[in-house]
Each structure stands twice: as C-alpha cells, then as structure tokens.
Structure 1
Amino acid sequence: MAPTDVIAWLLDSDPALRWQVERDLLDAPTQQWEATRARIPQEGFGAALLAKQDPDGQWAGGAFFPKGFFENHENQLLPGQPWTATTWSLTMLREWGMDPAPLIERNTAQLLAENSHWEYDDSLPYWGGEVDCCINAMTLANGLWLGADVESLPHWFLEHRMEDGGWNCEWESGSVRSSFHSTLNVLRALLIHEKATGGTGATRAARDAGEEYLLERHLAWTLSTREMPGPWVDHFLYPPRHIYSALRALEHFRLAGRKESRMEEAVAMVREAQQADGTWLQQKVLPGEVWFEVDVPEGESSKWITLEALRVLRWWGEG
C-alpha cells in the first residue's frame, strides 16, 4: 500500500480507532474527531462492551476474574487468563477514548464501590486497589476517569517503589528488582494522575525516577548484559493488556512530552518492524477468553499497532 492507502485502510475502522487516526495522523479539525469519538458508546466495540455490563456495575461478575473462575477451573491448566472481568473491560473503554458519561449515568463508580471486591482478598474495596502494581495502575487510571475516590493509590505506589526506581508486581513474593512491565504500567497511571490532578512533588519525582529506570536501559536492554530481557520487547501486540514493549514505552514518553537520544534503539525496533506495504503485524495474541475480538490474528496486519507505530514515528520526526 502507498502511504495514502494505509491511511484510508486505517480510517475504515471502528470509531474507537478512527477518531485517533483523524486527530493524531491527519490533524483533522477538533469538531471532526470529537464527533467520531462521540460514536464510541453508540456503535461498534464501545457499544458492544457497554452492553456486557452487569446491573451491579461489574463485567462478568468479578473485579479481575469472572465470577466463579477459580471454582470452575480448579486444577485446570488454561492457556491464558480471561480478559472479560471489570478491570479489563473498563480499561479497554477508557483506552479507546470513550467519554465516561454513559458509565457515570449508570452510577458505575458507586456500584463498584458497593459490589466489587478483589479476588485476592474480598475484604479489599475495589477503588482501594489490591497488592498488584499493574492492577492498581489500571484501577487508578479507571477511577480518575469515572470520578471515583482513588487518592490512596498514588501513595501506595510511593510506598511500593523499588530501590532501583521502578516497580515490580512480584514484590509480595520477595522481588527487590523492578520489572519493565510493572514499571511502565505504573508510569502510565501516574502520568494520568498528574494530568488530572497536578500530582504532588513526591508522585512527580517517582514518575521521573521510574522513567529514568527505563531510559537507563534504553527502553530495551538489561543493564548487566545489554540484551533484551524478553522477546516481548520488540513483539508488538494489541490489545497489549499489561505487557511491555518498546512501542508501548515510546507511546508513554510521547504522552509525557519527553524525547531524548536514549530512545533511539527502541525507535529503530519500531521502524524495522514496518512491512513493505507500510503496515505493522500483530506479533502476539495473548490467550484467554474475550468478549469479542478487536484486532486481527497473529501474523496479520494490525490497524491498532499500525496507528500506534505511525503516531510514535511521527512524534519522533520520521513520519
């Protein structure tokens, strides 16, 4: 495809994706992309996912896992966890850019406060989070979006930061070194918190330190070996869920307005993954139950990944 064909291909998509193409790749007038974004709760992916919400405010009857998941799958080895419960569903709607008004009209934040409890410990209130950094990062971002009281969570992140500057969801199991995955998820949430509230001196400093953790590693390498910590670094996927990639890290820094030379190796990974037809492939699909598919199978050209890659390269100055 010629560049113009790639854009036309991207525009022929769900409103959740199309509005971002209009705003971020075409510089369309605000009125145009806002009108497209306003269609998310009315049609396509957004409307379909809203229709799955339970009367008690949850999805699939659970906070992080569907209701009864552990009882129903006891002693079974499953290919992956389900992605249908409340936290994953809210995160998808928020990351698609949907206006939270339909959920606010349903009193979702209060319903979840009353009815949803974490499978890890059902005495923990939903908006108070649990013990997992990535779960708490999604909860902070989703709570801010819906107007819930989540102000305890930024303090929780300050208390659970590793000495090397980042975070690790396995801290409770004794991990003392940060994780790429956990650190990026917390950074994304702290940035959302900062943009929504201004943050505090302590949370801003924590975000700076966490970003430095990734930048010291050029978003791609371990400090000790200068090797990728895992194949996920340059394997781009959608939906990414909680998984780190160089592309997802660059998207964070784009939103944070921070650009520097230590990102060049990550940018090269994005650039080199572009196909001859101008698209990027779905390189991994996380197994597990979903409400419905929102992207292509592994090995096919992904509109979501192509959008994000083109957006990052444009920000970098290459598109």
Structure 2
Amino acid sequence: MDQRQRDWLLDSDPALRWQVERDLVGAADDVWEATRARVAAEGFGARLLALQDPDGQWAGGAFFPADFDFHGPETAPGAGQPWTATTWSLNALREWGVPASVLGDTAARLAENSHWEYDGAPYWQGEVDCCINAWTLMNGAWLGVVVRHLASWFVEHQMPDGGWNCEWVDGATRSSVASTLNTLEGLLFYERAGHGSAEITEARHAGEEYLLSRRLMYRLSDGSLIAPWVTRLAYPFRHFYSTLHALDYFRAAALFDGTAPDAQLDDAIASVRSAPSEGARWLQGRRHPGRVWFEVDVDAGEPSKWLTFYAERVLTWWDGR
C-alpha cells in the first residue's frame, strides 16, 4: 500500500481511522488508541450516541423501530428492513470501537425496557433467530452482561452439518452460510472477551469447517457458486454474507487461535482481488436498502474506504502467511 493510499484511508472518520492506523499503518499503540478515544466524541460514533432514547433503546425498538409497520411498504420485496433500532445501533457502536464505559447504564436500561418483537422476551434473554442471538451475545459481552445462556444456546442449536440456520424454527434442517458466519462472529467475540470454553471452541471450529468445506463460495452438491451475491462487496456488512465478510472473520479467528491461513480460502481471496475496483480502491457494490440514521459510506459504484480497508487487511494477512 503506497503513501497516497494510506493518506486516503487515514482521511476518515475516527471510527475507521483508528483501525487503519492499527491494522494497516502499524502506528504505535498510543496513536491509534488516541484516535479510537475520539470515536465517542465526534463523527459517526457521537452522532449515533446522541440518538439514543431515554429508555436505553434506539428508535424505540429492539430489532425494529417502534413505528415499524409489519404489514406496510417496508416489508415489500426489495424494500429492506430498517437499520435504526437498538440491535443495529449497538452493533455499529461496538464495531466502531466505542468503549463500553461510554454507554453507562445502557445494559440495565435495556434489561428493564426492551423486549423482542418476535415473542416479547426481555432483551438480554435473546430470541429464536441465530443472527439476532449472535449480535446479542456480542453486545452483551461488550457491555458486561452475563450472556452465557446465549453461548450455550448455539451449542444446543448447531445443525448436524456443523453450521446454523436462522430458519430452524420454521423447519430448516440444513445450515445457511449467512447464519453460520454471523453465529461464528458471535462465538469468536465471546471467546475473545475471555468467556470461552472447550465446548464453545469445538462448536465454532465445526462451524468454520462448514464454510471451509465450501471454500466460502461453492455448493457441495455440484461445486457451483452458492449465489451471485457471495462475491458482491458492500459496506456496512449488516447480516449479509460475502467472501470479504467471511474472510475478515477467518483472519480474526486465525489470529486468535494462532493458526496459519487455511488453503481452502484461496478462491475467496481471488474473488476479493478481482472485485470491482479503481486501482487499489475497492468499489461499493450496493447500499442495502432500508432506513438508516445517516450514511457511513459512499454510493454504489464509488471507491469505498471501508471496503478498501477490509480488503487490504485481509490481503495483507493472506500475503504475509
């Protein structure tokens, strides 16, 4: 990565800049830590924190805004769900590096006031959806909530093929790459927070093998691409699956486990290298439809600093093996 590329990436909101400093530039700890400390006070982080409701929620709901019409136009095909409610807002703040201490008594307020739209269960109890429970596991571990019951839930709901599927409650018997990836991110975060166990690690490794056996991209049945969207890069990742999203997980897992990059990732790496770009700047593939508080990345077709950061980080890890 040349100096021009570095300067372009560093000219970013603190939520991205501190990660560029730490993972790509190799800045001293005190440098990137100082930048990270700015996230809660300026830019994206400060804007989102200011939108929190007095009861601890965002947009008045756990997963959907309080005014969401489950039979209205936002549920039409292609409309896209809203991304403004509590879970999505917590996900963003956590991913941007906001310290849990900044959230104060948010965890307690959510325990008292927030309930899942699906069945009315208390927020930290979790839900039936694998992805929702994975984000709740991460956000709980981040905010200091005891969420070991959710970690155990994943062990109990792992499918025979090693992965997970959010549609299990509707009778699904085979895993989904998206549900599996989101679950793996939750389990890894929980382990990295110091709450792991042999049982959780075993479940995580089995889920990783589910994705690795498909080289992150292909059907086991005939070797065809799982779907056209697996190679489409878009930020924020949200709950969507892509080879870049999956590779970023496998990078983090390998660093945590102290293992080398797996050769079965080679095709996925090639898909990232060949993804639409301008020079060494990866292009935004799409903006996922749905309400947002504010945009944090560029329009489709434009060079994305976020996608470029993730791609450069993954490729630097892979090429350094």
State whether TM-score is above 0.5.
yes
1:51-90 equivalences under 5 Å are: 51-70=50-69, 73=72, 77=76, 79-90=79-90
Is the alpha carbon distance of 1:76 and 1:192 closer, same or farther for their aligned partners in structure 2, counting shifts above 3 Å?
A: closer
In the alignment, structure 1 residue 238 sits paired with structure 2 residue 251: no
**1:112 match:** 110
Distance in 2 between residues matched to 1:220 and 1:71, nearest whole Å: 33
Shift of 1:68: 2.8
Letter in 1 for 2:100: P
Is the alpha carbon distance of 1:63 and 1:76 closer, same or farther for their aligned partners in structure 2, counting shifts above 3 Å?
A: closer
Letter in 2 for 1:44: G
Distance in 2 between residues matched to 1:73 and 1:51, nearest whole Å: 28
In the alignment, structure 1 residue 38 sits paired with structure 2 residue 37: yes
Shift of 1:277: 2.1
Shift of 1:74: 7.5
Q: List per-residue Cα deviations over 1:237-273 (Å, max 9, x = no partner).
A: 1011001111111111111114111000001011112
Q: 3-state SS of the aligned residue for 1:152?
A: helix
Letter in 2 for 1:63: A
1:1-319 equivalences under 5 Å are: 3-70=2-69, 73=72, 77=76, 79-103=79-103, 105=104, 107-122=105-120, 124-257=121-254, 258=259, 259-273=261-275, 275-317=277-319
Q: 3-state SS of the aligned residue for 1:70?
A: coil
User: Is the contact between residue 251 and residue 314 of structure 2 (CA under 8 Å) also seen in structure 1?
Assistant: yes
Shift of 1:75: 9.1
- Indicate the percent of aligned positions where both proteins have the same amino acid: 58
User: Is the contact between residue 75 and residue 81 of structure 2 (CA under 8 Å) also seen in structure 1?
Assistant: no
Distance in 2 between residues matched to 1:12 and 1:163, nearest whole Å: 46
Q: List per-residue Cα deviations over 1:168-219 (Å, max 9, x = no partner).
A: 0000111000000000000011011111124111111100100000000011
The number of residue pairs the alignment matches comes to 315
Distance in 2 between residues matched to 1:131 and 1:183, nearest whole Å: 14
Distance in 1 between residues matched to 2:111 and 2:227, nearest whole Å: 37
Distance in 1 between residues matched to 2:298 and 2:161, nearest whole Å: 37
Distance in 1 between residues matched to 2:74 and 2:15, nearest whole Å: 38
Letter in 2 for 1:316: W
**TM score, norm. by length of structure 2:** 0.95
Letter in 2 for 1:230: A
**TM score, norm. by length of structure 1:** 0.95
Shift of 1:100: 1.5
Give unpaired runs (5+ residues) of structure 2: none
Distance in 2 between residues matched to 1:197 and 1:9, nearest whole Å: 35
Letter in 1 for 2:31: Q
Distance in 2 between residues matched to 1:90 and 1:82, nearest whole Å: 14
Distance in 2 between residues matched to 1:306 and 1:174, nearest whole Å: 39
User: Is the contact between residue 114 and residue 122 of structure 2 (CA under 8 Å) also seen in structure 1?
Assistant: yes
Shift of 1:131: 0.5
Letter in 2 for 1:134: C
Deviation >4 Å, runs of 4+ = none
Q: List per-residue Cα deviations over 1:76-130 (Å, max 9, x = no partner).
A: 6371110000000000000111111110x2x0000000000000011x1101110
Distance in 2 between residues matched to 1:318 and 1:10, nearest whole Å: 21
Distance in 2 between residues matched to 1:292 and 1:24, nearest whole Å: 26
Letter in 1 for 2:117: E
Distance in 1 between residues matched to 2:287 and 2:224, nearest whole Å: 24
User: Is the contact between residue 23 and residue 30 of structure 1 (CA under 8 Å) also seen in structure 2?
Assistant: yes
Q: 3-state SS of the aligned residue for 2:69?
A: helix
Letter in 2 for 1:231: P
Shift of 1:45: 0.1
User: Is the contact between residue 3 and residue 278 of structure 1 (CA under 8 Å) also seen in structure 2?
Assistant: no
Range moving further from structure 2, 189-198 or 66-75: 66-75
Distance in 2 between residues matched to 1:227 and 1:99, nearest whole Å: 43
Shift of 1:148: 1.1
Distance in 1 between residues matched to 2:28 and 2:168, nearest whole Å: 46
Shift of 1:145: 0.4
Give unpaired runs (5+ residues) of structure 1: none
RMSD of aligned alpha carbons: 1.6
